[in-house]
Amino acid sequence: MSARILHIARNTFREAVRDRVLYNLIAFALLLSGAAIFVGQISIDIERLVVVNLGLTAVSLFGVVIAIFIGIGLVSKEIDKRTLYTVLSRPVRRWEFIVGKFFGLAGTLVVNAFFMAIGVFGALLYVAHKFSKPDALILVALYFIILEFLIICSLALLFSSFSSPLLSAVFAFSLFVIGSFADDLRGFARMAHGFMRWIATGAAYLVPNFSTLNVISAVAHQQPLSAQLVLQNTLYALFYATMALSGAVLIFERRNLK
Amino acid sequence: MTAQRRTTIIAGACLAVSLTACVLLQHRLDQIRPESTIEDVLYIDSPKVVKRASLGFDGLMACMYWTRTVQYFGHRHYELSHTYNELAPLLEITTALDPHLMPPYQFGASFLAPAPPNGAGQPDRAIKLMEYGIEHNPDNWHLYYDLAFVYYTELKDYKKASEIFDRGSRVPDAHPFLKVMAAQTAQHAGDYTTARLLWSATFDTAREKQIRQNALEHLRAIQVDEDVSHLQAAVTRFGERTGRLPSSISELCTTEHLPGVPVDPDGNAYTMTPEGRILVENPDNFPFASKGLPPGYKRSGLPKFHTKL
């Protein structure tokens, strides 16, 4: 990775920290410790499940919200503040700017997820009093959540490269929702006929498949995950993020910034 | 005093007063509308819709629905309600969201099947729920056991119960007592030994304190029912032989060669009315006993568990 991309990524990370993005960790800690302490008193026999389900769901949702709301402003904010012109007047290519922003945002989310993961394991230790071997599967679920972040970051950047922040947020969040229904979309495509079948199949393969990256329930029940799934999901997320990022670069390269 | 400091003090005081007022008013509102906190209404009763709305986070949603089910049942049970309209839909939504979540099946069967006020009096829905659980967790022998239990205790369908025990016994790693139960229910259905075996198995295998305590109370009740049956039979024999009723329970024990005056599981001696009816001293201590109760006896409030695990 070129030093220029690294510099942009590091600055993006610093800016996010300065924007108090990591404050969400406080809300996360309160949510999880509250659940760990109180669920045992208001429910029956699901303390461990709640900690795993709630912890991983919160990691995922907090991350998605941060990815969307930071990601959509990454380009437009630089244009509004006119700092983009300062950056691009130096020997920095436009694609390097986009890729640097992507890595900076992804890095922020990884650091955020890392601290949240510590919280999840801490809460788990509190309710179960010890770790068991299948608890290591939580790490796989966290890894899939990070893959999900990569896709969301790239999509937010893609929309941010040609649209206003508000519209970018709407597009990115809509794709997140649609992507959660990816399996249903494929099922619908199988049932459709003629031209509709083509359209539905095309849409089903074009939207990101977030349902395949969501293994929270399986991990909560300590069900094993195959190495094939890990490999295929990794490749899928990397290719999808690359695709969206390439789109962002293509648009941004041609964008008239005057 | 600077203007900034004055503003800080006034704003701080306003905040504190407003916060206190909000809390007090909310408390008053809860008193005016006590029923508003837990409603007997399910706005969305379709498991499929709830599953879709969970955006893939159905595991967490299932935990939330299960907690809501526990709260709903607990609230209605506390009120000695005879209707549990939303119990079955809540359990069905919970298990549709996460078919591998076990507590809704295990507790659900014992919430749904018994007659009110101990349960919803819906054994058919309990069976449907358990069959759904077995369909999605075919290797979990506990589910077969719980299903057979509903057939045995609520529907008194001993043949079906035996069949289910037998199905469960063929599951890999099934507890060996399922085979015993299959044979026992087929041959000696409805007797005290079989009932004791069932509840003992529940007590020994359940992990949850509430289930174990419930099993223990049933075992105590079976003991009372069996003792009272034996003593009542002794009274009948005495009457047939002498043409009169025994004057006291001591006379009954002596003439019937019983080893001392029998006592209930709490250690209190059984008593006898002048009409020759055997009674337990504190019927409230045996919420599931069906014999040894005074004529016209009605349980006061909820069944209380008198044993501590």
Closest Cβ–Cβ partner in A45, A57, A180 for B60:
A57
Whole-angstrom Cα distance, residue B295 to residue A11? 84
Note the pLDDT of residue B188.
65
- For B105-131, the pLDDT digits (tens) are 988 888 888 887 778 889 999 999 999
Note the pLDDT of residue A114.
92
Between B114 and B132, residue with greater pLDDT: B132
- Contact of A120 with chain B, judged by CB distance below 8 Å, is answered with no
Whole-angstrom Cα distance, residue A22 to residue A110? 11
Cβ-defined contact of B70 to A42 (cutoff 8 Å): yes
- Contact of B52 with chain A, judged by CB distance below 8 Å, is answered with yes
Flag whether pLDDT at A11 surpasses 80: yes
Which residues of B are less than 8 Å from A144 in CB distance?
none
Whole-angstrom Cα distance, residue B107 to residue B91? 10
Domain ranges of chain A: 3-254
- Contact of A221 with chain B, judged by CB distance below 8 Å, is answered with yes
- For B209-253, the pLDDT digits (tens) are 777 787 888 888 888 888 888 888 888 888 888 888 888 888 888
Contacting B residues, span 75-134, partner chain A, CB-CB under 8 Å: 98, 100-103, 107
Residue partners of A75: CB distance under 8 A and separation at least 6: A84, A98, A101, A157, A160, A161, A252
Residue A179: what residue type?
Answer: G
Predicted complex: ipTM over 0.90: no
Whole-angstrom Cα distance, residue B238 to residue B294? 21
B244 min Cα distance to partner chain A (Å): 54
> Could you give the 3-state DSSP secondary structure of residue A164?
coil
A241 min Cα distance to partner chain B (Å): 21
- Contact of B34 with chain A, judged by CB distance below 8 Å, is answered with no
- For A63-106, the pLDDT digits (tens) are 898 889 888 888 888 888 788 888 878 887 888 999 999 999 99
Report for A214-228, B175-189, B194-208, B253-267: range of highest mean pLDDT: A214-228
**Minimal-distance CA residue of chain A relative to B97:** A217
Closest Cβ–Cβ partner in B56, B102, B103 for A180:
B56
Confidence of residue B299 (pLDDT cuts 50, 70, 90): low
Cα-based angle A229, A232, A238 (whole degrees, multiple of 5): 135
**Minimal-distance CA residue of chain A relative to B210:** A44
Confidence of residue B285 (pLDDT cuts 50, 70, 90): confident
Helices (H), chain A: 3-18, 24-42, 47-71, 73-80, 83-89, 94-128, 137-160, 165-180, 182-191, 194-206, 216-220, 227-254
| Side-chain-facing half-sphere of B175: CA atoms under 13 Å | 18
Cβ-defined contact of B63 to A217 (cutoff 8 Å): no
> In the predicted model, what is the mean pLDDT of chain A?
87
Cβ-defined contact of A53 to B107 (cutoff 8 Å): no
The answer to whether B270 and B262 have CB atoms below 8 angstroms apart is yes
Structure token pair of residue A150: 């990569």
Q: Can the peptide bond before residue B117 be classed as cis, meaning omega within 30 degrees of 0?
A: yes
Task: Tell me which residue of B143, B151, B105 sits closest to B124, measured CA to CA.
Answer: B151
For tokens 């101990």, the residue is B118
- For A191-207, the pLDDT digits (tens) are 888 888 888 888 888 89
Residue partners of A210: CB distance under 8 A and separation at least 6: A148, A151, A176, A179, A180, A182, B56
Between B296 and B57, residue with greater pLDDT: B57
- Contact of B233 with chain A, judged by CB distance below 8 Å, is answered with no
Cβ-defined contact of B59 to A210 (cutoff 8 Å): no
Residue partners of A90: CB distance under 8 A and separation at least 6: none
Flag whether pLDDT at B29 surpasses 80: no
Which residues of A are less than 8 Å from B55 in CB distance?
177, 180
The answer to whether A75 and A83 have CB atoms below 8 angstroms apart is no
Flag whether pLDDT at B189 surpasses 80: no
Between A41 and A28, residue with greater pLDDT: A28
Confidence of residue B137 (pLDDT cuts 50, 70, 90): very high
Which residues of A are less than 8 Å from B208 in CB distance?
44-45
Cα-based angle A213, A57, A238 (whole degrees, multiple of 5): 30
Note the pLDDT of residue B187.
67
Total CB pairs under 8 A between chain A and B:
64
- Contact of B70 with chain A, judged by CB distance below 8 Å, is answered with yes
Whole-angstrom Cα distance, residue A227 to residue A255? 42
Closest Cβ–Cβ partner in A44, A57, A177 for B103:
A44
Set out the domains of chain B in order of their start, with CATH numbers. 47-191 (1.25.40.10), 208-309 (no CATH)
> Could you give the 3-state DSSP secondary structure of residue B264?
coil
The two beta strands, B278-279 and B271-272, are: antiparallel
Note the pLDDT of residue A109.
92
Residue B56: DSSP 8-state: T
Confidence of residue B179 (pLDDT cuts 50, 70, 90): confident
Which residues of B are less than 8 Å from A44 in CB distance?
66, 70, 103, 107, 208, 210
- Contact of B37 with chain A, judged by CB distance below 8 Å, is answered with no
Which residues of B are less than 8 Å from A184 in CB distance?
52
> In the predicted model, what is the mean pLDDT of chain B?
82
Between B47 and A121, residue with greater pLDDT: A121
Give B272's strand partners: B278
- Contact of B67 with chain A, judged by CB distance below 8 Å, is answered with yes
